[in-house]
Amino acid sequence: MASSSSLSRYQSKRDFNKTAEPSGDTTVAPSERRRFVIQKHAASRLHYDFRLELDGVFKSWAVTRGPSLDPKEKRLAVEVEDHPLAYGDFEGTIPEGQYGGGTVMIWDRGYWTPEGDESPEEALKKGTLKFRLDGEKLHGSWVLVRMKRDRSGGKRTNWLLIKHRDEFARENDGDAILREDRSVASGRTMDQIAAGKGSRPKPFMLKSKKAAPPDAVWNSNRTETASPRASNATIKVRAKKNSSVKATDPANAIVNGITITNPDKALWPDAGDGRPVTKLDLAHYYEAVGPWMLRHLKGRPCSIIRAPDGIDGEHFFQRHAMAGTSNLFTLTKVAGDEKPYLQIDRVEALAAVAQVACLELHPWNCQPGNPEVPGRLVFDLDPAPDVDFAAVIDAAREVRERLEALGLISFCKTTGGKGIHVVTPLSASKKDQVSWKDAKAFAHDLCMQMVADSPNRYLATMAKKARGGLIYLDYLRNDRMATAVAPLSPRARAGAPVSMPLQWTQLRSTLDPKQFTIRTAPALIAKSTAWQDYCDTERPLAPAIKRVTKRSSKANAA
């Protein structure tokens, strides 16, 4: 994982209110194979940024004259600050006046593998890193060699980037490779990127199962064979990539570096203000509320609901990656399922979410990074159609009070529908961890006590759910694979409502949850302090389980 200190130089140079470059605040899981990217960068002086993924960041060099396929051409590569992994998908224009202001193109990208017996960390320290590139434009063996510091005592660390002699070397080719001046990500020229024109994105493909596993590549490099099976597999993957390239379309838009195709397509016919919500509106919504949302998405498998033709068209519920899934999604394996689950760990992934017309996000309720351990409880209050919202508010307050009496702190949000979710953060510390079975039993017991005390207001039996006049207390969200809609997730329902996190004091009987929409929520959440202390209120569940069980057995005895 990237330590925040290794990115502090990167972050201190940039104002993320002004540049669309990734902030590096969100962690991107390292890929199975190490990535490389070369970004052509028309800053005050044109250069090529050469980046190698290592230990959770991109080690970076500015190569003034660009890489050369001619082994006699040693290209100066000035060491620069580590960049976050999210930077590997950045293409666009850094505003003038900002650090590195100018146009950035993803000129090449792919995977790299160290050569030789040393670890790449050791090799970098010693000043000679030999490696292979498997990109779209660049291939074969290369070396980075650190130069001795000049006597003037300059601050820069200079390296040379040199092509090894192999079948990919080209002598005296006059830098023909640098004239291949189109983005490997979007197919755009520098001018098209500068003009903000869009095009069909060409996402980094999922690693094909046919591709050699990373270890095989590593080992074959060590023995200098880089095996025929591995290279065949690589070629197959590349052929598939090329088939996904579509003609450029100037009508597209770009948000967070991601191309949004059909930006004007209406996903909701009316956001309650007479205007439709377009795909571009959705991308901008996720961009606006993304940093807030991510705290509740990061590290948790997340189901999505897609509606490519809008809320009145077909809905697709999806847990797993599909063909062409953007590499901005994290793919996470959970015990008992071969297929990896989708996970959203960074704001750029939310732009990709909008691009595939994903209207709802439903994360698991586990601890981040640990699907086996409950990370929060969710009490889902479902009123029968004839129950007033005011009665749901009363029920939410009652859940809160009961939790508080057991030592737990809770937060509330509207669902975007008629219900309310009461959410309780649980302590992440190892000694406080409980099983999903115990967490679910706790939620069950608490709800059953509410039913026992007010049978004319509540029920908690799924089979009787639709009973008129009552509120169904759904404790079943508290299970390993159960989900609840994420705070601030839009809903694929009329009026473009969102699940709005609120302060308890905002839950007044006159509150109309329909007021919280894709249109209104960004400004409201920006000035709201709702859920701000969420992380400080995580409590252990075990003591509460003991207390609730005592009360249950007392009630049974009576």
Judged by DSSP in three states, 474 sits in: strand
For the chain, what is the total number of helices (H) and then of strands (E)?
11, 26
Using CB under 6 A as the binding rule, the residues of this chain from 419 to 438 that contact ligand ATP are: 419
Contact 141, 130 (CB under 8 A): yes
Using CB under 5 A as the binding rule, the residues of this chain from 399 to 428 that contact Mn ion are: 419
Which of the ranges 43-51, 304-312, 343-351, 376-384 carries the binding residues for Mn ion, by CB under 5 A? 376-384
164/418 with CB nearer ligand ATP: 418
Residue 360 engages Mn ion in binding (rule: CB under 5 A): no
Residue 380 engages ligand ATP in binding (rule: CB under 6 A): yes
Measure the CA–CA gap between 31 and 48, rounded to whole angstroms: 23
Q: Which residues contact 150 (CB under 8 A, 6 or more apart)?
A: none
* Tally of residues, the chain: 558
Residue 83 engages ligand ATP in binding (rule: CB under 6 A): no
346/491 with CB nearer Mn ion: 491
Judged by DSSP in three states, 272 sits in: coil
Which of the ranges 72-80, 84-92, 93-101, 482-490 carries the binding residues for ligand ATP, by CB under 6 A? 482-490
Residue 33 engages ligand ATP in binding (rule: CB under 6 A): no
Contact 204, 327 (CB under 8 A): yes
Residue 382 engages Mn ion in binding (rule: CB under 5 A): yes
Residue 399 engages ligand ATP in binding (rule: CB under 6 A): no
Output the DSSP codes for 24-37. Answer: S-S--PPPSS-EEE
Dihedral class, residue 216 (left if φ above 0, else alpha if ψ from -120 to 50, else beta): alpha
Work out how close the CB of 269 gets to ligand ATP at its nearest, in angstroms, rounded to a whole number.
Answer: 20
Measure the CA–CA gap between 345 and 370, rounded to whole angstroms: 14
Residue 485 engages ligand ATP in binding (rule: CB under 6 A): yes
Residue 348 engages ligand ATP in binding (rule: CB under 6 A): no
Q: Which amino acid is at 527?
A: K
Work out how close the CB of 293 gets to ligand ATP at its nearest, in angstroms, rounded to a whole number.
Answer: 15
Work out how close the CB of 473 gets to ligand ATP at its nearest, in angstroms, rounded to a whole number.
Answer: 11
55/394 with CB nearer Mn ion: 394
86/459 with CB nearer ligand ATP: 459
Q: Which of 301, 277, 288, 261 is nearest to 359 (CA)?
A: 277
Residue 415 engages ligand ATP in binding (rule: CB under 6 A): yes
Work out how close the CB of 383 gets to ligand ATP at its nearest, in angstroms, rounded to a whole number.
Answer: 8
Quote the tokens at residue 411: 């937060």
Residue 514 engages ligand ATP in binding (rule: CB under 6 A): no
Residue 418 engages ligand ATP in binding (rule: CB under 6 A): yes
Measure the CA–CA gap between 369 and 297, rounded to whole angstroms: 11
Residue 297 engages ligand ATP in binding (rule: CB under 6 A): no
| Cβ neighbour number for residue 407 with a 10 Å cutoff | 12
Cα three-residue angle 98-22-334, rounded to 5 degrees: 175
Residue 49 engages Mn ion in binding (rule: CB under 5 A): no
Which of the ranges 52-60, 128-136, 339-347, 415-423 carries the binding residues for ligand ATP, by CB under 6 A? 415-423
Work out how close the CB of 485 gets to ligand ATP at its nearest, in angstroms, rounded to a whole number.
Answer: 4
196/313 with CB nearer ligand ATP: 313
Residue 89 engages ligand ATP in binding (rule: CB under 6 A): no
Q: Which residues contact 311 (CB under 8 A, 6 or more apart)?
A: 267, 268, 269, 359, 492, 493, 494
Quote the tokens at residue 374: 């409950």
Q: Which of 295, 540, 286, 314 is nearest to 428 (CA)?
A: 540
Residue 291 engages ligand ATP in binding (rule: CB under 6 A): no
Residue 238 engages ligand ATP in binding (rule: CB under 6 A): no
Work out how close the CB of 3 gets to ligand ATP at its nearest, in angstroms, rounded to a whole number.
Answer: 34
Q: Is the dihedral of CA 477, 478, 482, 485 positive or negative?
A: positive
Q: Which of 306, 357, 348, 303 is nearest to 328 (CA)?
A: 348
Q: Which residues contact 245 (CB under 8 A, 6 or more apart)?
A: 187, 200, 202
48/472 with CB nearer ligand ATP: 472
Contact 186, 201 (CB under 8 A): yes
Interface residue with ligand ATP, options 35, 197, 362, 480 (CB under 6 A): 362
Work out how close the CB of 451 gets to ligand ATP at its nearest, in angstroms, rounded to a whole number.
Answer: 17
Exposure string of 294-306, with b = 16+ CB inside 10 Å and e = fewer, is bebbbbbbbbbbb
Which of the ranges 45-53, 118-126, 445-453, 480-488 carries the binding residues for ligand ATP, by CB under 6 A? 480-488
Work out how close the CB of 475 gets to ligand ATP at its nearest, in angstroms, rounded to a whole number.
Answer: 11
How do strand 75-84 and strand 158-163 relate by DSSP bridges? antiparallel
Interface residue with ligand ATP, options 56, 213, 269, 417 (CB under 6 A): 417
Site map (CB under 6 A) of ligand ATP, residues 305-344, x = contact: ----------------------------------------
443 interacts with, out of ligand ATP, Mn ion, none, CB within 5 to 8 A per kind: none
Work out how close the CB of 386 gets to ligand ATP at its nearest, in angstroms, rounded to a whole number.
Answer: 15
Which of the ranges 112-120, 198-206, 266-274, 411-419 carries the binding residues for ligand ATP, by CB under 6 A? 411-419
In this chain, which residue has its C-beta nearest to ligand ATP? 417
Output the DSSP codes for 402-438. Answer: HHHHTT---EEEE-SSS-EEEEEEB--SGGG---HHH
Residue 82 engages ligand ATP in binding (rule: CB under 6 A): no
Which of the ranges 116-124, 247-255, 379-387, 390-398 carries the binding residues for Mn ion, by CB under 5 A? 379-387
Footprint of ligand ATP (CB under 6 A)? 362, 380, 382, 415, 417-419, 474, 477, 483-485
Footprint of Mn ion (CB under 5 A)? 380, 382, 419
